[in-house]
Structure 1
Amino acid sequence: MKYRQLGDTGIEVSLLGLGTVKLGRDQGVKYPTAFKIPDDQQALELIALAEDLGVNLIDTAPAYGSSESRLGGLLQGRRQRWVICSKVGEEFVDGQSYFNFTPEHTRMSVERSLQRLRTDYIDIVLIHSDGDDMAILQKEGTLQALAELKAKGMIRAIGLSGKTVEGAIAALQQGDVAMVTYNLEHQEEKPVLDYAQAHRKGVLIKKALASGHICVGPHEDPLRKSMEFVFAHPGVSSAIIGTINPEHFKENVCALPA
């Protein structure tokens, strides 16, 4: 496993991070096939495998159902081994998502995540955007609330998991990290990577494999080609892969560029 710096945060992350939406939520998710949420033993084995493969980044969110709470137990005794990324803004209750970006909700959400994760700090907290990135950043005060919590030592790095180039760059101007979609079929957010590289900011990639929908030529390996493409850009810090299949995770690691 190779590692890259997360901008100028002082945090070093593995090229691949483990996404955990499938540890806590199986409703309203956009994957090509249905799946069953793994039990604790299966989840422990997946986390242990990720550790053995050199992965040190794990991604979760309140919107991922029971993911945070489960990780709080699953990571007991291993907390220092992991860089934990969580989020604020999106909630998932009774099968439905809703958004709240107020400073009050943001503070409550981070404090709740700390309790669920059984830790006294979270390495990275991102705003879980509803798509209206600039309105959130300019009107809601969400990032400012996160900055205050960072100043108190509750968070190490802050930013946005957004859906627009303008929003991601604005978040990097004010914060540390942006999570963007970037893959063989979606390259519109490349300017964010360019900006991050030029200004020593961190970038986490979501949907590096287009949620399992990547298509390439008949004689090409879509996994290897995807990995080579994503990590060819030096502005990329890590890509979050949300699989619960151990063999798939091994294949993802093996496909990383040398």
Structure 2
Amino acid sequence: MRQRELGATGIPVSELAFGGVEIGLPYGIGVKGEEDMLSEPEAIHLLHAAIDSGVTFFDTARLYGASEMIMGKAFRDRRGQVIIETKCRQLRDASGELPNRATLKKIIKTSLQESLAALQTDYVDVFMLHQADLGILTNEDIPLIFDELKAQGAIRSTGVSTYSVEETSRAIETGVWNVIQLPFNLMDQRQAALFARAQEKGVGIVIRSVLLKGLLTSKGGQLHPALADVENHIRRFDDLVQEPIPDLSTLAIRFALAFPEVSSVLVGIDKLAYLHRALAAVNGLALTTETADRARQLAYPDPTFLDLPHWDRMGWLT
């Protein structure tokens, strides 16, 4: 497994990051409840298989159900082999407001303490804000609280998880966050415009949604009628799926890794077969310049429509 530097943190990470949401709670196409999930022993076996295959970077969050707890059990005897990235609880109150500094500090510190206990460790490598909107990113107290935790040694680096280009740009320009996790894939390539700036500022880029919640895999067929245009557009990438690219998910992962500014690509994994497929994609031949250029030209023309939380609320992903 090839490694890349996580921005200017000095932390090397595997090109493949193991996404831990699926082992913690029901998530993704076709997963309706706990009966569709791995058992705890199966999840631990999967995490061990990932480590044994060269994966060093694991992503989780306080809000991912049992994910941190399962990782804690899997990694307690292998802590030195893994880089753990986790995310803080939500900061806004029930009315959507940000609390005062004292309350923010309590939320953030308590969330980190809970994560450390669940993960059975005394530090995390990357501690992130979860869903950092513009209001959160312009708050002056939050970075100071994170810096205090960093100075105490409880976290090695700080990060934010963003959704929009505007949020990512703001996070980069603040100059206070070491890592940004952002959505990027074959269909929605808007964030690529900020990759060079992130590299200039020493910010590590971790890609999520690379498979568009499974739509850029074999699961991406027979979608809800409201997504007919999306499904038809996805099929346009089929022309690029030819040796040495065996399937659409491989194309999607290698496309993200074609950008040198990207530190790691996060893939949600809840089956051994999916792990092997992701490993084959990451460890295989890089895309040719021609294929990468053709993929860039096939971005979905209306990326604002690619709103998966909205699709979920509408019942289009069931």
TM-score, normalised on structure 2?
A: 0.73
Q: What are the superposed Cα offsets for residues 70-104 of structure 1, whole Å, 9 maximum, x if unpaired?
A: 2211211011111000001339xxxxxx9977222
The answer to whether the Cα contact below 8 Å between 1:62 and 1:90 also exists between their aligned partners in 2 is no
Partner residue in 2 for 1:179 = 181
Q: Which amino acid aligns with 2:85?
A: C
CA distance in 2, matches of 1:242, 1:99: 31
1:86-101 mapped onto 2 (5 Å cutoff): 86-90=86-90
Greater displacement, 137-146 / 71-80: 137-146
Q: Which amino acid aligns with 1:107?
A: K
Matched, 1:113 2:115: yes
2:8–2:204 Cα contact (<8 Å) kept? yes
Match of 1:32 among 29, 43, 54: 29
Shift of 1:253: 1.1
**Rg comparison, structure with higher value:** 2
Whether 1:75 aligns to 2:72 is no
Secondary structure of residue in 1 paired with 2:262: coil
2:207 corresponds to which residue?
A: 205
SS state of the match for residue 230, structure 1? helix
- The 3-state SS of whatever aligns with 2:112 is helix
Match of residue 85 from structure 2: 85
Instruction: Provide structure 2 residue ranges, at least 5 long, that are not aligned to the other structure.
Output: 217-233, 242-246, 286-318
Distance of 1:184 and 1:105 partners within structure 2: 36
Matched, 1:234 2:260: yes
Residue 146 (structure 1) aligned with residue 150 (structure 2): no
Q: 1:218 to 1:234 in 2, by over 3 A?
A: closer
For the aligned residue pairs, the C-alpha RMSD in angstroms reads 2.1
Q: Which residue of 2 aligns with 1:94?
A: none
Letter in 1 for 2:44: L
- Indicate yes or no: 2:51 matched with 1:51: yes
Distance 1:205 1:50 in 2: 18
Cα pair 1:127 1:142 within 8 Å, conserved: no
Provide closer, same or farther for how the CA distance between residues 99 and 111 of structure 1 changes in structure 2, counting only shifts above 3 A: farther
Give yes or no for the alignment of 1:243 onto 2:243. Answer: no
Which whole-Å CA distance do the structure 1 matches of 2:46 and 2:193 have between them? 34
Contact 1:4 1:14 (8 Å CA) reproduced: yes
Which amino acid counterpart does residue 2 of structure 2 have in structure 1?
Answer: K
Task: Name the structure with the higher helix share.
Answer: 2
The CA deviation string for residues 33-80 of structure 1, in whole angstroms up to 9 with x for no partner, is 116221122112211211122000111101101111222112110111
- Identify the range of structure 1 (180-189 vs 210-219) with the bigger mean alpha-carbon deviation: 210-219
Work out the CA distance in 2 between the residues paired with 1:140 and 1:89. Answer: 18
Q: Could you list the per-position Cα deviations for residues 104-124 of structure 1 after superposition, in whole angstroms to 9, with x for gaps in the alignment? A: 201111111111111111000
* Matching of residues 113-132 of structure 1 within 5 Å: 113-129=115-131
Question: C-alpha separation between the residues in 2 aligned to 1:51 and 1:224?
Answer: 20
How far apart in 2 are the matches of 1:113 and 1:33?
Answer: 28
In the alignment, structure 1 segments of 5+ residues that lack a partner are 92-97
1:89, 1:99 within 8 Å by CA — same for their partners in 2?
A: no
SS at match of 1:45: helix
Structure number with the higher strand fraction is 1
> What's the CA shift for 1:142?
2.5
TM-score w.r.t. the length of structure 1 is 0.89
Larger displacement relative to structure 2 (101-110 or 74-83): 101-110
C-alpha change, 1:189 and 1:218, in structure 2 (3 Å) is: closer
Secondary structure in 2 matching 1:237: strand
Q: Deviation at 1:168? A: 2.0
Residues 89 and 100 in structure 1, CA contact (< 8 A), matched pair in contact too: no
- Asked if the contact 1:103–1:140 (Cα under 8 Å) also holds between the matched residues in 2, the reply is no
SS of residue in 1 equivalent to 2:23: helix
Count of paired positions: 248
Deviation at 1:197, TM superposition (A): 1.9
CA contact (8 A) 1:90 1:99 kept: no
Query: Residue 190 of structure 2 aligns to a residue in which SS?
Result: coil
CA distance in 1, matches of 2:56, 2:272: 16
Alpha-carbon shift at residue 148 of structure 1 (Å):
1.1
Deviating beyond 6 angstroms after TM superposition, the runs of 4 or more aligned structure 1 residues are 98-101
